[in-house]
Structure 1
Amino acid sequence: MTLPTELTELSPEQLAIIDLCQHFAKDKIRPAARAVDEADTEVPWEIWGEAARVGLTSFMLPEQYGGGGSTDMFTQCLVQEELCVGDLGLGNLLTANGFFAHPVLELGTDEQKERLLRPLAGEAPPMTSLAVTEPDVGSDAAALRTHAVRKGDRYLLTGRKAWISNAGASEYYIIFATVDPRLRAKGITAFVVHRDTPGLTVSAPWKKMGQRALINAEVTLDDVEVDARDRLGEEGQGFIGLMQTFDRSRTILAAAATGVARAATEYAIQYANERRQFGKPIIDHQAVAFRLADMETRVEAARLMTWRAAKRIDSGRRATRESAMAKLTASETAMFATWAAVQTMGGWGYSREFLAEKWMRDAKLEEIEEGTSDMQRMIISRSLRDHV
């Protein structure tokens, strides 16, 4: 499957990083995918280190902080798709520091950017986490209950965060808390907290259905003392930074979902051409051929919607609606394509001998994280209220 580059000419730099990602996905990511899945709650530090050495964990950071300078969403989506063709969980892990970096770039001071971002571009970068979700608060970020109380030039953070990616492995966390629950969105404020800060504790990693390369755990804050210099932006600016981060993260996750859907489609097409039944390749059976046609078509559609959202963000326009559409389409395409690959392969698809069943488990998270598919539909439906 080739990218529809007739729609937009790729630069030499973009072609080079795509080539790098394709080789890394084939040579490093795909061969490790099953072992990482079996290990379940173990951080794949070896692959993290290998990716860092070739610049794949920091390609999205500005050059002035030592990164690769691919700050545009379109290039980031090209990279994410290729890495996630190798493996969805590992692809999402390797680019996770980009989610941490965006609020720092949007809200941070020059000193904070230099202090927090430059280490991410090193040969042995730390892992980082965004801590938004809470046990009783899902997609309604304005209703966060984690509380930040000002005490002179410091804040005391108290609350619980759930389903935090890389929790326990991360060196830094961006904690989103409210300075006043009555203010809802206008009270949300972002703080950078080091993992060794007294009062911050992390649960054991949770055992999950899929995407096990990314460990998830609960983070508890018990009067965690944070210096005001580690607040990102002013009080109440966190929600704006969070919404901008969500537009970008939804688009990146759409590219990731497109990647695993593409992997499943390519896998199923190869199997259907090689597997014979009733004396001919099963791709000659109409039911199989039509299923493969649906897979191929949906992957292309998901990619184009992802590219549209990315291009809109890069043009400086709001992309909440477009990123929601991209994530909805791509995540449900990923679930369909991985199911269809298992279905096409029959018993072999159900076997752990092949990766199809793993991809199906991995794909389910794409319909849940950063807002469920129902949440994406809600975002889109709200945009229709004033539509003429």
Structure 2
Amino acid sequence: MTVQAEPWPLTEEQRDIVALCRQFARDEIRPRARAVDEADVVTPVDVWKKAAKVGITDFMLPAEVGGGGFTDVFTQCLVQRELCFGDPGIGNLLCSNGFFADPVLALGTADQHARWLTPLVGPDAPMTALATTEPGVGSDAASIRTSATKVDGGYRLNGQKAWISNAGAAAYYVVFATTDPALRSRGVTAFLVEADSDGLTFGEPMRKMGQRAIVCREIYFDDVFVPVAHRLGEEGDGFRALMRTFDISRVVLGAASVGAAQAAYEYARDYARQRIQFDKPIIEHQAVAFRLADMAARIEAAWLLVLHAARVIDTGAEATGLAAIAKLTASETAMFCAWAAVQTLGGWGYSREYPVEQWMRDAKLEEIEEGTSDIMRLVISRNLP
């Protein structure tokens, strides 16, 4: 990645983690990206283990549980951009334990933090997952139908989740279920579930357009018993924690989009400098130069929005609308830049010989996950200043 000055000063620790991730993206992620994409439904465990060994998979966990201590969203965005410059799917995979940790930190007790987060630290860190989406429930999390029925000593979970990242590979899950569908958001409750729980099963890997490093499956709950000690917060607290998690994840995924957009831009720029057409490099043709200018401008604007939203969240202020603005802008920037890179390379951009066609497939997910662009516009319209 072309190194530019950040709009805010970084601490020495932040500069160190950024440098580590930049090198890891160059040396370990980018060389594996095409093979992982071709493998389609195979999690790149080898890259995960290398990242865990150098502290990338747990950098976002609190120091109190042995993690890297970068619990602020701002630093998480710095890291996410670097890793996703190497490859969006692998980069998002390596930071996925942060999405599991958010509701645990928001609702969990000190004992739950120690029990569920401490094992995620170190070179043998397992993967985790956040189970929210259902076949008939996407962004409308208040309409969750997976049920949590109270029984002696805990709850029984019944239902189905879909499109769950790391399902089947994860050791631990935060599962959002409802104690009463009629209550909608006031019934949504979060539970911690272990992968070997009786009655918990998984579907086959789902074949996806892009970001294939993250394998998704359906999850089935058939009378899965969850002790009351594995409930996060009180009954009905789950929706509030989930909305907070969405604010954070949307901003962090915005940073992922910026990393992907930057990769596409730099590849197209370097190609345009070398490709000769009509006796001169195509970067000297106005149409190509203006397209690259648009890419650069959109990336810079998206990055400033992402970092601004991260700073606001880190102050503890409400940031739902701002997080949606950052995610919408960054994800559509990634898609535009991936398209523009393919366009700049022409027929070669359409070939699997070059990475830009994969990045175009990868970028599309950023306009869908954690709320589609349509949903982001709806959220923004409801949170206008």
Distance 1:145 1:4 in 2: 47
Contact 2:131 2:174 in 1 (8 A): yes
Would you say 1:209 and 2:209 are equivalent positions?
yes
What CA deviation, in whole Å up to 9, does each residue of 1:247-275 have, x standing for no partner? 00000100000100000000000000011
- State how many pairs are aligned: 384
Q: Give the match for residue 179 of structure 1.
A: 179
Q: Give the match for residue 2 of structure 1.
A: 3
Matches of residues 101-180 of structure 1 in structure 2 within 5 Å?
A: 101-180=101-180
Distance 1:383 1:70 in 2: 29
Would you say 1:369 and 2:352 are equivalent positions?
no
Length-normalised TM-score, structure 1: 0.98
Would you say 1:225 and 2:198 are equivalent positions?
no
Structure 1 gaps of 5+ residues are none
Distance 1:9 1:364 in 2: 32
Q: Which amino acid aligns with 2:40?
A: D
Pairwise CA distance, 1:2: 3.4
Q: Give the match for residue 293 of structure 1.
A: 293
Pairwise CA distance, 1:4: 4.0
What CA deviation, in whole Å up to 9, does each residue of 1:93-142 have, x standing for no partner? 00000000111111111111101001101211111000000000110001
Pairwise CA distance, 1:89: 0.2
Pairwise CA distance, 1:152: 1.9
Pairwise CA distance, 1:216: 0.4
User: What secondary structure is seen at the aligned counterpart in 1 of 2:168?
Assistant: coil
RMSD, aligned α-carbons = 0.7
- Identity over aligned residues, as a percent? 61
Length-normalised TM-score, structure 2: 0.99
What CA deviation, in whole Å up to 9, does each residue of 1:194-223 have, x standing for no partner? 111111110010111000000001001011
What CA deviation, in whole Å up to 9, does each residue of 1:176-202 have, x standing for no partner? 000011111111000011111111110
What CA deviation, in whole Å up to 9, does each residue of 1:241-299 have, x standing for no partner? 10110000000100000100000000000000011111100000000000000000000
Matches of residues 1-388 of structure 1 in structure 2 within 5 Å?
A: 1-5=2-6, 7-384=7-384, 387=385
Pairwise CA distance, 1:47: 0.3
Q: Which amino acid aligns with 1:309?
A: A
Distance 2:10 2:198 in 1: 48
Distance 2:183 2:5 in 1: 46
Distance 1:111 1:227 in 2: 14
Q: Which amino acid aligns with 1:182?
A: A
Contact 2:177 2:190 in 1 (8 A): yes
Distance 2:361 2:285 in 1: 27
Distance 1:3 1:378 in 2: 34
Distance 2:292 2:143 in 1: 43
Distance 2:191 2:255 in 1: 28
User: Which runs of structure 1 show a deviation greater than 6 angstroms over 4 or more consecutive aligned residues?
Assistant: none
Contact 2:342 2:356 in 1 (8 A): yes
What CA deviation, in whole Å up to 9, does each residue of 1:289-338 have, x standing for no partner? 00000000000011001001100001110110111000000000000000
Pairwise CA distance, 1:80: 0.2
Distance 2:243 2:51 in 1: 29
Contact 2:320 2:383 in 1 (8 A): no
Distance 1:321 1:3 in 2: 28
Distance 2:375 2:179 in 1: 26
